[in-house]
Structure 1
Amino acid sequence: MPPTPTVSTLAELAELAGVSVATVSRSLAGNTVIAESTRTRIVALAREHGFQVNQAARNLRLRRTGAIGVVLPLGHEAEQHLSDPFFMSLLGPLADAIADRGHDLLLSRIIPKDDRWLDAIVDARRVDGVIVIGQSNQIDAIERVARRYRPMVVWGADMPDKTQITIGSDNVAGGRMAAEHLLAQGRTRLAFFGNIEVPEFAARYAGFQQALAAAGGGQATLLPVHLTSEASYSAIENYLAGHASPDGIVAASDVIAMSALRALAGRGKRVPQDVSVIGYDDVLIAMHTNPPLTTVRQDVARGAAILVDLLFRRMEGEEVESVAMTPELILRASA
């Protein structure tokens, strides 16, 4: 049982300890300006007398909320949900990294109704900083806020001509290495499955095209399928029903790649004998598909740690730069 509180204010605790209120406040906050022996004595007194810091009052005084906003704008994919395998793989380590910094996570899934949705979030002042997961088709809305609101970082495609600080994989390199692998296998009828309205997917497609150009061109197809499992399956199934099958597919995400595996099986196409398939992300389920999925891995755990580190450095006023992590081709049975 916790002790019955006998001290209820900082002033009472300061009088008991024989120090100033400022010393008590700094000691309870772990401020190393105060000698360790003093901090230890004051913390022990606080516990002994059941004193609890009023965190809400402290945050108000320090003009902070103790929360970080994590925002998922779905302008291009209104049917996508938080249960999406990529979101799940990123949100876990992100929540842990934020908690390790002593902050809460305030999660928002946004279907933009206008171009002021991000302004509304930052202007409400309910959070100390914002992490945006994915740029969707909302680059302009994100960029406008990035110009005036510093404590914000974005998971997405690198934008050298923009103000926003981005963290993600080198998507061009990832798309290129996937296509190069298929070309090295002797595949000549390649296809890219993904909606290039999404900046990350556009960059992956650019890398895909670079590999084709370096190999002397060749036949290639772009199928702008959406991200959700059923929507991507339906689009791929409809395409295969009316066209000759490609012999190599680079999918913009693992979810799209898994839909391709299902649609190809329904058409009697063997993977990888008839068609090689490569995904992107390396979500946990990718190794359990039939056949196991070859994919381009994004190190999302490292990415989550970088997102949080850069955000808190920006919150302290530091200058930081965007980070593009090197992707890795994970070879499994599908290609």
Structure 2
Amino acid sequence: MPKTGKRATMVDLAKMAEVDISTVSRALNGSSVVKENTRERILKIADEIGYVVNASARNLRKQSSRAIGIVIPLSPESGQTISDPFFLEMVGAVSHAASKRGFDLIVSVPQEETKVSEQRLLQTGRADGLIIIGQAGRDERLKNLGNEAKNIVVWGGSTENQTYTLVGSDNIEGGRTAAEHLLNLGRKRILFLGDRSLPEVELRYQGLVKAHSQKGMEHAPELILELDFSGLTAFEKLISFHKGGANFDAIFAASDVLAIAAIHALRACNLSVPDDVSVVGYDDIGQAKILTPSLTTINQNISLGGELLVDLLLKKVAGEKVESAVTPTKLIVRESCGGLK
């Protein structure tokens, strides 16, 4: 046993297990070269003497931090925070996927759009690669990452001349499905909520326009309310929009947070959901099913998205060539749109 107060070393562990240091190293790293009973004996002794792997030294030898970063850019003006349910669910999905592959997750929330937080994490070696959630204010910078793009994967919507690896839902199909459902319910004037300067949101709006076109209709340009993802802002602006005399009988919101804010705003205007106005969101966050009325929404498979983000990133870090990926979308019909049988 090591002296009291002295940290146990691999040499101590090797002596107590009566094996050489290389065998201890292989056992701790799960090598199949070491017999199972020998590995279990070494691990048991390591636990008894409190031996802890020196992660810094191991990572230096392997040229790997065994960690990936997830960057969530937030605009201070938007009112959106890391507590946004979509961010929480995405961080959870990425964290779970990373943990299954033996990687830790470093969460970075830069407060300024110009701050190159992704470069800092990569250049200091704190993370082997980065996952960036969203393209708000960053699309041009992402396109100009150059050599650093090999260690980055982005969650978002496809853009023209895209030069980085992207994972995102089939936003056009999601928007088309949502709008088609509302039109099939007999709704004629669908109000779209969202900031179309964001690639994902613009693609969702394109899906709405496509659904109208497929039915020989046009979407009225006055039925667009440009909003960031702040629920409070959406609540206030929708009330003002309605008081201004706007005529609409349905809402397709670019996120569930916006859809939930819309339901509260409609109630404040003494309008019934879904009798007066049908509402459909996008994301299928956990709160969607327990809301009153429960929220009809587009599920974009966040869990699969987390798996794809991590898998593609680790393949890129290993030097493999990868292609951008798309998660399927599915309409989840609940009470907020009406028409349930």
TM-score by length of 1: 0.89
Matched, 1:229 2:218: no
Q: Corresponding residue for 1:64? A: 64
Structure 1 CA distance, aligned partners of 2:282 and 2:121?
30
Rate the CA distance shift 1:50–1:106 in 2: closer, same or farther, 3 A: closer
Q: Corresponding residue for 1:258? A: 260
C-alpha RMSD over aligned residues: 2.7
- Amino acid in the other structure paired with 2:256: D
Q: Corresponding residue for 1:142? A: 142
Cα drift, residue 266 of structure 1: 1.8
Three-state SS of the structure 1 residue aligned to 2:107 is: strand
Any conservation in 2 of the 1:159–1:166 contact (CA below 8 Å)?
no
Rate the CA distance shift 1:35–1:224 in 2: closer, same or farther, 3 A: same
Three-state SS of the structure 2 residue aligned to 1:168 is: strand
- Amino acid in the other structure paired with 1:90: M
Query: 5+ residue gaps in structure 1?
Result: none
| Most deviating of 141-150 and 198-207 | 141-150
Matched, 1:307 2:275: no
| Aligned ranges 1:241-256 → 2 under 5 Å | 241-256=243-258
2:328 corresponds, among 326, 329, 332, to 326
Three-state SS of the structure 2 residue aligned to 1:57 is: helix
Structure 2 CA distance, aligned partners of 1:287 and 1:77?
29
Three-state SS of the structure 2 residue aligned to 1:70 is: strand
Any conservation in 2 of the 1:146–1:164 contact (CA below 8 Å)?
no
Matched, 1:82 2:82: yes
Q: Corresponding residue for 2:180? A: 180
- Amino acid in the other structure paired with 1:68: I
Structure 2 CA distance, aligned partners of 1:31 and 1:266?
63
- Amino acid in the other structure paired with 1:28: L
Structure 1 CA distance, aligned partners of 2:7 and 2:316?
37
Structure 2 CA distance, aligned partners of 1:306 and 1:76?
29
Q: Corresponding residue for 1:238? A: 240
- Amino acid in the other structure paired with 1:164: Y
Query: 5+ residue gaps in structure 2?
Result: none
Structure 2 CA distance, aligned partners of 1:30 and 1:121?
29
The count of corresponding residues between Structure 1 and Structure 2 is: 334
- Amino acid in the other structure paired with 2:318: E
Cα drift, residue 11 of structure 1: 4.7
Cα drift, residue 166 of structure 1: 1.7
Cα drift, residue 41 of structure 1: 5.1
Cα drift, residue 298 of structure 1: 1.6
Cα drift, residue 332 of structure 1: 1.0
Any conservation in 1 of the 2:78–2:228 contact (CA below 8 Å)?
no
| Most deviating of 161-170 and 44-53 | 44-53
| Most deviating of 256-265 and 117-126 | 117-126
Q: Corresponding residue for 1:119? A: 119
Three-state SS of the structure 2 residue aligned to 1:186 is: coil
Three-state SS of the structure 2 residue aligned to 1:249 is: strand
Three-state SS of the structure 2 residue aligned to 1:150 is: helix
Q: Corresponding residue for 1:163? A: 163
Rate the CA distance shift 1:17–1:23 in 2: closer, same or farther, 3 A: same
Any conservation in 2 of the 1:3–1:50 contact (CA below 8 Å)?
no
Cα drift, residue 67 of structure 1: 2.2
Three-state SS of the structure 2 residue aligned to 1:59 is: helix
Cα drift, residue 278 of structure 1: 0.7
Three-state SS of the structure 2 residue aligned to 1:137 is: coil
Structure 2 CA distance, aligned partners of 1:5 and 1:11?
16
Rate the CA distance shift 1:267–1:54 in 2: closer, same or farther, 3 A: same
Any conservation in 1 of the 2:74–2:81 contact (CA below 8 Å)?
no
CA deviations on 1:129-176 (whole Å, 9 max, x unpaired) are 211111112112223236434232222113474232222210010001
Cα drift, residue 93 of structure 1: 2.7
Rate the CA distance shift 1:3–1:306 in 2: closer, same or farther, 3 A: farther
Q: Corresponding residue for 1:273? A: 275
Three-state SS of the structure 2 residue aligned to 1:260 is: helix
Cα drift, residue 181 of structure 1: 1.0
Three-state SS of the structure 1 residue aligned to 2:336 is: coil
Cα drift, residue 35 of structure 1: 5.0
Rate the CA distance shift 1:46–1:255 in 2: closer, same or farther, 3 A: closer
Rate the CA distance shift 1:208–1:53 in 2: closer, same or farther, 3 A: same
Any conservation in 1 of the 2:179–2:252 contact (CA below 8 Å)?
yes
Cα drift, residue 64 of structure 1: 2.3
Three-state SS of the structure 2 residue aligned to 1:158 is: coil
Any conservation in 1 of the 2:209–2:219 contact (CA below 8 Å)?
no
Structure 2 CA distance, aligned partners of 1:138 and 1:10?
46
Cα drift, residue 199 of structure 1: 1.2
Cα drift, residue 115 of structure 1: 6.0
1:288 corresponds, among 272, 290, 301, to 290
Q: Corresponding residue for 1:31? A: 31
Any conservation in 2 of the 1:116–1:141 contact (CA below 8 Å)?
no
TM-score by length of 2: 0.87
Cα drift, residue 121 of structure 1: 3.0
Any conservation in 2 of the 1:10–1:21 contact (CA below 8 Å)?
yes
Rate the CA distance shift 1:247–1:163 in 2: closer, same or farther, 3 A: same
- Amino acid in the other structure paired with 2:188: T
